Amino acid sequence: MPDRFRLTLGQLNPVVGAIEANASLARSAWEQARAAGADMLALSEMFITGYQTGDLILKPVFLAEAEAALERLVAECADGPALGIGGPARLGGRLHNAYWVMKHGKVVAKVLKHHLPNTDVFDERRVFAPADICGPYRIGPLRIGSPICEDAWHPDVAETLAETGAEILLVPNGSPYHRGKPDQRLNLMVARVVETGLPLVYLNMVGGQDDQVFDGSSMVLNPGGELAVQMPQFDTCIAHVDFVKGAGGWRAEPGMMAAIPKVWEADYRACVMGLSDYMAKTGFSRAVIGLSGGVDSALVAAIAADALGPENLRCVMLPSPHTSAHSLEDAAACAAALGSRLDTVPISAPQQAVDEALAGLFAGVAPDVTEENIQSRLRGVILMAISNKFGEMLLTTGNKSEVAVGYCTIYGDMSGGYNPLKDMYKTRVFETCRWRNANHRDWMRGPVGLVIPERIITKPPSAELRPNQTDQDSLPPYEVLDAILDGLVERDLSVADLVAQGFDRATVKRVEHLLYISEYKRFQSAPGTRLTSRAFWLDRRYPIAMRFRDPG
């Protein structure tokens, strides 16, 4: 009989700061592993604390609670499979991102993270100390090497583990989603397998945490890069993987093969999960939005209905004298299609009151954008009042194009606790609406079918803050604007680079100027779902007060 080893993988959703709840989740998964006859249960990076903790991990009482919970798990999970679980470890006065491996009431290994990421949304060098590469540990017949997350993105840790006797690589991760990330991970992990000749288990967590969404997509690769197990994207899951030792070494037997969704579905699912978990983890179950009859608020309403259920979403129409009849009709049609409540609160009387209050001070000064912004801010006041009164989180609805160039009113339509569209350009908003109308999945709590009326998608976008206004009165066409922003934000291109691609120099310079002067608005904006590797906030950190302009 060849040697066998059963490894149970817990692709789960720990909550930052919920130490005892995370420990309970770990014990439950361990019980399932024991019932399945597993030799080991593996959980993800920093599981006991949740991930990412930021500076919370530096708080002594928090760190002590996490370490105490891990020590309790050592005793509570003594009679059964080994347990591998991510958590902090203090050694020699230094704090490490560690992987605790416990068996028979003892800690048999504390693997310490070697490469600490300090790019994109990560700032681990701020809170953790790097460690020397740790060697493999033995569980039953198997010597396991565990590069922790970033350690597997570089060849040195895996190669060292292979050279020091590891027979498989188990990689615990806290790897957040962005567009194209599953393919990127697969390519890197295949490279580690090819370099070492070892099977590799890539174990990721799931769940939303502030702006980040951890999307699972855990997998097992055999020597040569063959995919033996593919766990689902975004879903929590327990999988039992059997390894068999033959003449050529250890190999995983074929197991679960979940399909990874296409990008349009993955982006939408990330928005739904990001909102759902943000609400749940901050103590909210109901949301309110200003439903204007425009495409952005309609898409946020659909995301909220799918995340929370239509019955937990309140839509509010706040018409002014400039609101068109078709906007009123479209907002009503969208709310009805979703099955959500729609309230109407006109702002004409509050607007008149503010105008009268300012009449003396503004006498002799021509109306301008000030009066437009008053309308937006009045809507923010009313929506926040509804939020406060009924305990419903206000969702803001600005897309990435608007947020980039400041085509949004601070303390007005930017008011709210979360923005599902913060990292979605306007051109993608239109296509995402079409995708949702044409598709329904089991994880969506909203209804099947056309939930965003076609006219909302096809009519010219307008803030309706003055007569006959359209967005393109103030901005380039969104196809042009988004292409320029893609260059400036996503790819850090120069003005000259974009002009060489055929864009008008004056238009590029204007967009660049708007991008830079709007930084202060973004600094005060609500968090929102990260969909790209250049999302505003942690991916792209620019100063507010600065005078650089590209001379190109």
Least confident of 110-119, 325-334, 502-511: 325-334
pLDDT for residue 270: 98
Q: Which of 103, 113, 281, 422 is catalytic?
A: 113
Confidence tier at 1 by pLDDT (50, 70, 90): very low
Task: Report how far apart, in Å, the C-alpha atoms of 296 and of each of 373, 396, 441 are.
Answer: 18, 10, 21
For residue 113, indicate whether it is catalytic. Answer: yes
Per DSSP, what are the bridge partners of residue 8?
41, 240
63 φ/ψ angles, rounded to the nearest 5 degrees: -60, -40
* pLDDT mean across residues, the chain: 95
Confidence tier at 322 by pLDDT (50, 70, 90): confident
CA distance 97 to 123: 12
Provide the 8-state DSSP code for 472: G
- pLDDT of 470 strictly over 80: no
Residue 435 is which amino acid? W
- pLDDT of 2 strictly over 60: no
- CA 15, distance to chain mean position in Å, is 14
Average pLDDT over every residue of 500-511 = 96
Average pLDDT over every residue of 294-305 = 97
pLDDT for residue 473: 67
Nearest to 127 by CA among 66, 67, 58, 176: 58
CA distance 293 to 325: 10
What six digits make up the tokens of 175?
A: 């790897």
Angle at which helices 295-308 and 325-338 cross, to 10°: 20
Q: Which residue has the tokens 């990412």?
A: 52
pLDDT for residue 359: 93
Q: Is residue 149 a contact partner of residue 47, using CB atoms and an 8 Å limit?
A: no
Percentage of the chain lying above the pLDDT 90 cut: 91
Nearest to 416 by CA among 378, 387, 373, 374: 387
Confidence tier at 539 by pLDDT (50, 70, 90): confident
Q: Which of 149, 271, 334, 408 is catalytic?
A: 149
Per DSSP, what are the bridge partners of residue 245?
250
Q: Answer whether 0.75 is exceeded by the pTM.
A: yes
Nearest to 240 by CA among 226, 255, 257: 255
Average pLDDT over every residue of 374-399 = 96
For residue 77, indicate whether it is catalytic. Answer: no
Rg (CA), the chain: 26
Cis peptide before 52 (omega within 30 of 0): yes
Burial of residue 132 (CB within 10 Å: 0-12, 13-18, 19+) is exposed
Sign of torsion over alpha carbons 126, 129, 135, 140: negative
Least confident of 9-18, 287-296, 322-331: 322-331
CA distance 190 to 174: 19
- pLDDT of 141 strictly over 50: yes
Average pLDDT over every residue of 535-548 = 90
Burial of residue 160 (CB within 10 Å: 0-12, 13-18, 19+) is buried
> What are the pLDDT digits (tens) for 148-167?
999 999 999 999 999 999 99
Q: Enumerate domains of the chain plus CATH numbers.
A: 4-255 (3.60.110.10), 264-466 (3.40.50.620)
pLDDT for residue 461: 75
Average pLDDT over every residue of 305-316 = 98
Q: Is residue 267 a contact partner of residue 531, using CB atoms and an 8 Å limit?
A: yes
Confidence tier at 230 by pLDDT (50, 70, 90): very high
Residues in the chain: 552
> What are the pLDDT digits (tens) for 92-112?
999 999 999 999 999 999 999
> What are the pLDDT digits (tens) for 22-66?
999 999 999 999 999 999 999 999 999 999 999 999 999 999 999
Residue 492 is which amino acid? D
Considering only residues 315 and 247, tell me which one the structure prediction assigns the higher pLDDT.
315
361 φ/ψ angles, rounded to the nearest 5 degrees: -70, -35
For residue 464, indicate whether it is catalytic. Answer: no
CA distance 463 to 374: 13
Nearest to 254 by CA among 217, 218, 222, 216: 222
Count of CB atoms within 10 A of residue 339's CB? 14
Which helix or strand (DSSP H or E) is residue 207 part of?
A: strand 206-209
Average pLDDT over every residue of 263-272 = 97
What is 62-128 written as a DSSP string?
HHHHHHHHHHHHHHHT-SSSEEEEEEEEEETTEEEEEEEEEETTEEEEEEE--S---STT--GGGT-
Least confident of 242-251, 468-477, 500-509: 468-477
CA distance 150 to 188: 11
Least confident of 176-190, 397-411, 427-441, 472-486: 472-486
pLDDT for residue 469: 66
Q: Which of 45, 124, 167, 392 is catalytic?
A: 45
**Helix, strand or coil for residue 203?**
strand
> What are the pLDDT digits (tens) for 176-223?
999 999 999 999 999 999 999 999 999 999 999 999 999 999 999 999
Average pLDDT over every residue of 509-535 = 95
Residue 466 is which amino acid? R
